[in-house]
Amino acid sequence: MITAFVLIKTDASRIPETAEEISAIPGISEVYSVTGEWDLIAVARVAKHDDLADVIADKLSKVPAVVHTTTHIAFRAYSQHDLDAAFSLGFEQ
C-alpha cells in the first residue's frame, strides 16, 4: 500500500464543497480542512505508485476549485505505540 499526503490550496469560498468532491475520489481515504498555508490535506492510499497519477494528477488536481497541490509520499508508518514513545522522550512525569 502506498500512502501519500496531498496539501491543497483551493478557492477559499468553496473549501467544504471541494473537500466533499475530493473525498469522493476512489483512492482518497480522508480529507481534512486545516489551518495555515494550505486549505485541505488529503490522504491517498493506493496499491501502486502508478495509481497515484490516476488519483492525484488525473482526478484530484482537476477538481474545479483546486488551485495548487503538493504531494508527499510516505516512506514508513509507525504504530501509535511508537509515536507515543517518540513524543514522550525527555518528558518526566
Question: What are the distances in angstroms from CA 37 to CA 34, 40, 41, 70, 73?
Answer: 9, 9, 11, 12, 19
Express each pLDDT in 20-79 by its tens digit.
999 999 999 999 999 999 999 999 999 999 999 999 999 999 999 999 999 999 998 876
Q: How sure is the predictor about 84, in pLDDT bands with cuts at 50, 70 and 90?
A: low
Q: Are 52 and 62 in contact (CB under 8 A)?
A: no
Give the class (CATH, top level) of 2-87.
alpha beta
Q: What pLDDT is attached to residue 78?
A: 76
